[in-house]
Chain A
Amino acid sequence: MGILEGKQDVDSFNITERYASPDRVTDAIRDYVTSVIGRTFLDDEDFFESGGVTSLFGMQIIGFVERAFDIEVLDDDLDIANFRSVSALSEFVSKKKVQA
């Protein structure tokens, strides 16, 4: 891990081993969001309305779900409803994995 990563990086989530079950997708996303923003969000809590996210969050969360769950976020997927909360992201990832 690099100097800027502290304790958590995407590889440390070991997605295939720790979060193999679709139920655990939510856990992985929740853990990552906590590591990036610095506090725990309720699953339906709106990131953007909370005011706690930076301008980089959009890129970071997309980078995470693409790498962690082996999906590709396309321009058609750019709908705020897909990225608004932990549960919204979880649902989006599950939908993309079914489409894949």
Chain B
Amino acid sequence: MTVGLSRRDEFASFVRAHVAPAATSSDKSGCLDPRILSAFRESGYLGVNIDPNYGGLGFDNLDIGMLTAEVARACSSSRTLLTVQGIVSAAVQRWGNDSQRQTYLTRLACGEILAGFALSESDAGSDATAIETKIETSGDQLVVTGRKRWISFGQTANLFLVFGRAQDGFGAVLVPGDTPGLHREPQLDMVGTRAAMMANLVFDGCRVPRDAMLGRPGFGLSHVAATALDYGRFSVAWGSIGIAAQALASGVRFARTRKHSFKFLSDQPLIKARIARVGLATESAKLLCVEAARMRDERSPSAVMWTMAAKYAASKAAVFSANESVQICGARGLLSDDYGQERLLRDAKVTEIIEGSTDVLELALGDHLILRDGELDVY
């Protein structure tokens, strides 16, 4: 489908110039090339979801989605940078008080602040309520103690949104990266998004002012984290579309040039069938993403479920597409080179686990459809 092509051309041009050239080397080294980060800072794209009153670009959700997809076509680690920055920005913009918005949003928009989202722990992933990090009150300060795991850009972020148990329930606290007691342990050897510079974090009695609490105590998970993860699901959904589309395009290009028994692969029925299945899965998922974007722009309360559906379908499409693309390309698909198939497959699998695993989303969507008698609406 063709949606807002002129904007998409702008995004594609940016990615070709600034992201794609360093994507493979970033993946191999496990570090996002600093030139990619600089380009994102200069472009303003780190503030796509921030209100222009705070220096952001204030893109509508379709533009945010298209940018995310174009970035993910080249580099899912770069997409992760957009996702994490957007997650924390979304939470501050939605639930921050005036002082917090003034203090952080402009600096998030220009990339002076690089954000980290510290929710997961060793024994708390899909079940966020199992987190054990403590947020205790000590005079006019909050004291954060605990360990967080799987924190994207945890190696480099200079502001963390940290979730823990406070006196009145779950809380969310903004902790600067240079806070005494905060230690980072690089998480290396990840299968996918290897350049997302993941880290495990130790908060050893980290002290922050009481006004570092985002939102009210007791609402840290139900509202602050929920808002953040809702944006994260949307971002990952579109990132998955980028992976699926790129994998499909790579597979098609290979099939057009490779011969088997004197015929191009693209003329072989079995290859045609694979490409048809992948193409339809990708386009179907993209439609869900576009609808989710529309509903988010309309501030529909139904956008939450549509975003879940989009993420579910898109991440499955990404894995399907990447897997089929490798299969089409044969041994070439297994090679770690600039062709990129094997990296797309590794990065695709990540999307089925983060921001709401496929399994968790199936449960939530199943409950939702059962409540509505499983009916399909007829347009």
The answer to whether B304 and A4 touch across the interface, beta carbons within 8 angstroms, is: no
A6 within 8 A of B: yes
A100 within 8 A of B: no
The answer to whether A2 and B291 touch across the interface, beta carbons within 8 angstroms, is: yes
The answer to whether A63 and B299 touch across the interface, beta carbons within 8 angstroms, is: yes
Interface residues on A, range: 20 to 34
The answer to whether B369 and A4 touch across the interface, beta carbons within 8 angstroms, is: yes
Known: A7-B372, A54-B367. A2 touches B219 (CB 8 A): no
Known: A56-B364, A78-B216. A4 touches B372 (CB 8 A): yes
The answer to whether B302 and A59 touch across the interface, beta carbons within 8 angstroms, is: no
Closest to B128 in A: A55
Residues of A within 8 A of B291 (CB): 2
Residues of B within 8 A of A10 (CB): 300-302
Tell me the dominant secondary structure on chain B's binding face: helix
The answer to whether A4 and B299 touch across the interface, beta carbons within 8 angstroms, is: no
Interface size on B, residues (CB 8 A): 37
A60 within 8 A of B: yes
Q: Interface readout for B212-247 with A: 1 if CB under 8 Å, 0 if not?
A: 001110110111001100100000000000000000
Residues of A within 8 A of B298 (CB): 67
CA distance A6 to B375 in the complex (A): 6
The answer to whether A79 and B227 touch across the interface, beta carbons within 8 angstroms, is: no
With both chains docked as a complex, state the minimum distance between the C-beta of A72 and any C-beta of chain B, in angstroms.
10
Known: A5-B372, A5-B377, A66-B299. A59 touches B227 (CB 8 A): yes
A1 within 8 A of B: yes
CA distance A78 to B95 in the complex (A): 9
Q: Interface readout for B310-340 with A: 1 if CB under 8 Å, 0 if not?
A: 0000000000000000000000000000000
B189 within 8 A of A: no
Residues of A within 8 A of B369 (CB): 4
B97 within 8 A of A: yes
B373 within 8 A of A: yes
A-B residue pairs, 10 tightest by C-beta: A6-B372, A63-B301, A78-B216, A58-B222, A64-B301, A38-B371, A78-B219, A59-B226, A75-B95, A1-B377
